[in-house]
Amino acid sequence: MKVGILAVQGDFEAHAEMLARMGVEHRYVFRPEELEGCDALILPGGESTTQLQFLQEEGLFDAITQLVQQGGAIFGTCAGAILLAREVRRPSQPSLGLLDIAVARNAYGRQIASEVKWGATKLKEEPLEMVFIRAPIIERVGPGVEVLAESEGHPVLVRCGRLLAAAFHPELAEDTTVHAEFLRMAASSDVPRDSHPHEGIPSGAFHHPAEPARRTISECIALLPEDSGARVDPDFANDVEAAIESHREPLIPPAANR
């Protein structure tokens, strides 16, 4: 199996490191032809408007849709989940529209308020570690979308067919559970290629720890890759500068210049 990673902006390097740890072949994707031979694609966190513009300008918008139509799997984290969503709110913006969910951008607050939480999941008995960095909130899921994890009453990990979306950053945790599920989806012949309905989620289906652990923003920062000259998006500049002043390192993973 070969997994492509959109590498124009955001924390694509962290996804690459996760896949390397798991022994999965991967490549960075900048152009449509680099999707050829890929069985799956990861849309990383970052700035969704920047990534959307790149997809449109480089012809990747149509190439990604074609990959899904051919049975490829797509995993969107944070900004990548926004790109997958059928409806984007506050503010509205275009998207790939492949996954029947509605998301509100930056709904968890300012970047300096980001944190690590532990939430209920269907993927394992133990609570799942979730790194939230200026994350979107999934406000609606369609009838064909299954909720795999939630936090504070909101879905944060959802699946439909070969599409997987997370409002958080599983690539910044030590746990490989979410990426393993994505790889299983991409490889399994039992997973439908198109969106399909699931039964409603029964009450109590999630495992809820009695006293969910929380970590501070300082501990969240410690999980992020060491900065090596990150390119900061203008919308994040003030928050990042404040974070550097307070913690002496930015809150976003490094982004490579193309």
Is 199 within a domain? Answer: no
- Look at residue 96 in the predicted model and tell me its pLDDT: 94
- 78, 154, 179, 181: which is the annotated catalytic residue? 78
- 169, 179, 181, 220: which is the annotated catalytic residue? 169
- Look at residue 19 in the predicted model and tell me its pLDDT: 97
Checking DSSP bridges between strand 25-29 and strand 2-6, what pairing results, if any?
parallel
Mean pLDDT computed over every residue of the chain: 78
pLDDT score of 197 more than 50: no
Is 254 within a domain? Answer: no
- 171, 179, 181, 220: which is the annotated catalytic residue? 171
The CA dihedral of 42, 65, 183, 212, to the nearest 10 degrees, is 60
pLDDT score of 209 more than 90: no
Answer yes or no: 171 catalytic. Answer: yes
d(CA 75, CA 93): 20
Is 56 within a domain? Answer: yes
- Mean pLDDT across 54-63: 91
CB of 158 closer than 8 Å to CB of 165: yes
Is 45 within a domain? Answer: yes
Answer yes or no: 78 catalytic. Answer: yes
Q: Which domain holds residue 217?
A: 2-193+205-247
* SS3 state at 111: helix
- Look at residue 219 in the predicted model and tell me its pLDDT: 47
* Banded pLDDT at 115 (limits 50, 70, 90): confident
Q: What stretch of H or E contains 26?
A: strand 25-29
Is 52 within a domain? Answer: yes
DSSP code, position 172: G
* Banded pLDDT at 182 (limits 50, 70, 90): very high
Is 256 within a domain? Answer: no
CB of 91 closer than 8 Å to CB of 103: no
**Is the model more confident about 115 or about 75?**
75
The CA dihedral of 146, 149, 152, 154, to the nearest 10 degrees, is -30
Q: What CATH number is given to the structural domain containing 16? A: 3.40.50.880
Share of the chain above pLDDT 90, in %: 55
- Mean pLDDT across 110-131: 83
* Banded pLDDT at 28 (limits 50, 70, 90): very high
Weakest-pLDDT range from 58-62, 123-127, 143-147, 233-237: 233-237
Tokens of 1: 């199996």
Is 47 within a domain? Answer: yes
pLDDT score of 174 more than 70: yes
pLDDT digits (tens, 9 = 90+) for 241-251: 444 344 333 33
Is 200 within a domain? Answer: no
- Look at residue 190 in the predicted model and tell me its pLDDT: 63
Answer yes or no: 169 catalytic. Answer: yes
pLDDT score of 203 more than 50: no
Domain count, the chain: 1
